[in-house]
Chain A
Amino acid sequence: MLRFAPWKLASVLALVVAAILLIIPSFFPAPAVEALAARLPGFVPLRHIVLGLDLQGGAHMLMQVDEASVVKSQVEALRDDVRQKMREGKIALAGGIATQPRGVLVRITDPTERARAQTLLQGLSQPIGGPLAGGNGRTLEVTQTDAGVQLTLTDAAIADKIRHAVGQSIEVLNRRVNAMGTKETMIQQQGLNRVLVQVPGLQDTTKLKEIIGQTAKLEFRLVADPGDPPNEVEELPMQKGVGTLKVQKRVMVDGADLVDAQQSFDQQTGEPDVTFRFNLRGGQKFGLVTTENVGRPFAIVLDGKVISAPVIRSPITGGTGVITGNFTVDEANNLAILLRAGALPAKLTVIEERTVGPGLGQDSIDAGKRAAYVGGILVIIYMIATYGVFGVFADIALGVHILLIFASMVLLGATLTLPGIAGIVFTIGMAVDSNVLIYERIREEAHMGRSVLSALDAGFKRAFATIVDSNVTMFVAALILYLFGSGAVRGFAVSLGLGIITSIVTAVTMTRMMIALWYRQTRPTRIPI
């Protein structure tokens, strides 16, 4: 009981000092700490404790890649591919191609032609992950039915497309957000088909949604002529004002060929507009179309809505053009950002949104602090009142326990949330449990007539197995909460879990050392509890 290696005492003291050093930066403003940390080598753990969005304020948006829109665009691409193949193979498309929710049906009545078509169309089915990747999954299932050849997208193909769409979306969103100048924005993948966007300090998500919520698919299409066949024309809503406009379904040039877009002002009217520039291919296409269609209105379509439809006055061959549309400066600027960053590969839907204003965040921090202080003081007083000098030891251990929780959070970069603070307050009550177990056992042993030293020794030894058992059960609960919980609740699991680990170190090891030192100093004749 009395002996412990000096290195143990030294390492406990070192631990405490290290913990204090880790925490000190968190008492200073975060920007100052970051500025200083930037000048030090990377391995120096000079960090501010990470506050969750619920404490520092900010916006959290979880967005999901719209599976239906991914499938729809895949089916459309498939239809075009099939048409191309059939033309190459010179197979007459008597019955046409019917699009279905998950594939297309090529109607062919002649059985021999049908068989030939199947072999031909089989070539459209690619191995998943490109020809180089292993595995035997394919993108298409090609079967013959009585009506013709059926091509169905496989589940694996759709999953693969969604995976790609998520990756691409993150790239596009990053470009957009960087252009907006909000540098702290975090964009990351969640699960298979989701993107999480977190912006500290942002209160009103309306503007953010204007930038990240749009697909930004830009198309140039000719406005329909009365002579156009009806199945090649569609009616699209106007983006501003009311009414619709009939435009051709065929897309002449699209935004994929854009290399730059900038907000500018019309030289005559002074109205805000957007100047764009195509790459070589896009510029040639654009030049060709405008040359052939001088005098016709050319519709500029964004995400299925017509921005404007100016008349082509002369061929535009320089590869640059201007989009006008009664914009405000902000709108023109946003459009320029969207066009520069490129279109999202699929529609993203916001499925969860949480924003906390700085006022509520600060209130939560203050309330959490108050609860922690008052709870801590109550426990400290109660422990001293019950156990006297042993209570003081327990309280010192409790202080170090809290210190260690914060220090390990800084070290691990774990996020402190409001439920996390609740977890810490709870562990304030819980951490002394190990001390209580030990002290009560010591009392019992003393009452059974053991000497002071032997009672102390037996108390620690016998209580230890119980402490381990009871803490393991609590730790399992915390671990599972971490694995299954989401968002702020994870913060609770983190502080609870860390608290359990540190409480074993402080309440058992540290208390034992303090009691041993105390015993050597005072040589008591009886247990003071």
Chain B
Amino acid sequence: MNAPASPPRGLLGVRLLRLAPENTKFGFMRFRRVSYPLSAALSIISVLMFLFVGMNFGIDFAGGTQVDLLAKSGELNMADFRAKAESLGLGPVEVQQIGRGAEVILRINEQPGGNQGEQTAIAKLREAFNNDFEFRSVDSVGPSVSAELVQSGTLGVVVAIIAVLTYLWFRFEWQFAIGAIIGTMHDLLLTVGFFCVTQIEFNQTSIAAILTIVGYSLNETVVVLDRIREMMRKYKRLSTAEIVDMSVNAVLPRTIMTATTVFLALLALFFLGGHVIRSFSAAMIWGIFVATYSSIFICSPMLIYMGVRADVFDKKREEAEAAAEAKVQV
């Protein structure tokens, strides 16, 4: 391999930025003795946290009513506000001040009396706060809807995993699909753990975040696996570990590049996108980090354990794929 004589220069002769070192030869696979126990432990902790601490379910899934209020006077005395909210007889009241200003989010649990109970609660809240506050938003989810949202959310995540697994199974060998799915499950569990630890509200946008993380995680994995498959065809005599290491090193610059651009975009969303989608952005940032880690340290070493060798690609299939690829023109 010939390295370029001098580093290339970009526009106006400014030296180009390289976050990832060139031609790395890190022994990533050696880390599996650290990364596997670590990830296993984190996954188990996540499950235990989920079971014993639980997530902070928003009203989408837990039912209840949430209002976003802005004090018309521009000033808000939290103690007074809390006292007034608690005096309404709507059960436990959760109050959260937004920023440092006069905006506050008030949340009450599902009211007794089914769907009608929520309606009564909204009426009470309007009566109590309409004079001094602007109602910036009112969200109320009755028991029948919240149960369905839980159901469709769970179903969505499960179906997404199955669908993508099927696609990978068609496009790659089954060992690859297993590796990818273990990585995805890992990311999923750690994201759940993230919600448990931070107690960030888990709502409908969190489901969106989770599915996007699943998508991103698979995206990362596919890029690495694609290269591993290519390398396996090329270097039939190398061991699987060597091939996986070579492949991960080869795609490393791209992995770092893409993770950075996505991270930059999400960072802007987190700080500037407003409080309504902050929990979404936070979960996504965590997800990008975890997905990048798992594609390198979890999915790829799986192939070693699964006993994938270069000879899994029998001649016929390889030719068929080569023909198919040749047809694909940009």
Contact = CB atoms under 8 A, between A and B. Distances in A.
Task: Give the size range of A's interface with the partner.
Answer: 35 or more
Nearest to A482: B156
Contacts, number: 287
Contacts of A426: 212, 262, 265-266, 269, 284
A481 B208 contact: yes
Given A364-B276, A371-B272, A425-B273, A476 B254 contact: no
Interface in A473-506: 473-474, 476-478, 480-481, 483-489, 492-493, 496
Contact of B142 (A352, A429, A469, A526): A352
A528 interface: yes
B169 interface: no
A464 B328 contact: yes
Contacts of B216: 430, 474
A474 B219 contact: yes
Do most interface residues of chain A lie in helix, strand or loop, or is the interface mixed? helix
A375 B262 CA distance: 9
A419 B258 contact: no
B167 interface: yes
Interface stretch (A99-107, A117-125, A266-274, A378-386): A378-386
A419 B277 contact: yes
Given A359-B134, A444-B250, A529 B328 contact: no
B116 interface: yes
Interface in B211-255: 211-212, 214-216, 218-220, 222-223, 226-227, 230, 250-251, 253-254
A406 interface: no
Given A388-B10, A426-B284, A379 B18 contact: no
A432 interface: yes
A500 to B, nearest CB: 9
Interface in A156-209: 203-206, 209
Contact of B265 (A352, A392, A429, A466): A429
Interface in B250-292: 250-251, 253-254, 257-258, 260-269, 271-274, 276-277, 280-281, 284
Interface residues of B, number: 93
Contacts of A387: 10, 16
A349 interface: yes
A433 B258 contact: yes
A447 B330 contact: no
A429 B330 contact: no
Contacts of B139: 353-355
B140 interface: yes
Nearest to B262: A429
B2 interface: yes
Contacts of B267: 375, 378
Contact of A355 (B137, B145, B160, B281): B137
Contacts of B156: 480-481, 483-485
A400 interface: no
Contacts of B168: 473
Nearest to A434: B258
A440 interface: yes
Given A371-B272, A449-B2, A62 B215 contact: no
Nearest to A440: B254
Contacts of B211: 477-478, 480-481
Interface string A208-241: 0100000000000000000000000000000000
A466 B251 CA distance: 11
Interface in B100-150: 114-116, 118-119, 122-123, 126, 130, 134-142, 144-145, 149
A356 B274 CA distance: 15
B328 A432 contact: no
Contacts of B311: none
Nearest to A433: B258
B51 to A, nearest CB: 24
A509 interface: yes
Contacts of A374: 268, 272
Given A383-B261, A447-B3, A481-B156, A472 B167 contact: yes
Given A368-B273, A444-B250, A466 B262 contact: no
Contacts of B141: 351-352
B126 A480 contact: no
A298 to B, nearest CB: 31
Contact of B219 (A353, A421, A473): A473
Interface in A383-397: 383-389, 391-392
Nearest to B254: A440
A425 B265 contact: yes
Nearest to B163: A476
B266 A425 contact: yes
B40 interface: no
B145 to A, nearest CB: 5
A383 B10 CA distance: 11
Shortest beta-carbon contacts, A-B, top 4: A388-B10, A484-B156, A429-B265, A477-B215
6 contacts: A352-B141, A372-B268, A421-B273, A449-B1, A485-B208, A488-B205
Interface of B: 1-4, 8-11, 14, 16-19, 23, 68, 70, 114-116, 118-119, 122-123, 126, 130, 134-142, 144-145, 149, 152-153, 155-156, 159-160, 163-164, 167-168, 171, 204-205, 207-208, 211-212, 214-216, 218-220, 222-223, 226-227, 230, 250-251, 253-254, 257-258, 260-269, 271-274, 276-277, 280-281, 284, 325, 328, 330
Given A375-B265, A485-B156, 14 more contacts: A349-B114, A352-B145, A355-B139, A357-B134, A418-B276, A426-B284, A449-B1, A469-B226, A474-B215, A478-B211, A486-B149, A488-B205, A489-B205, A527-B8
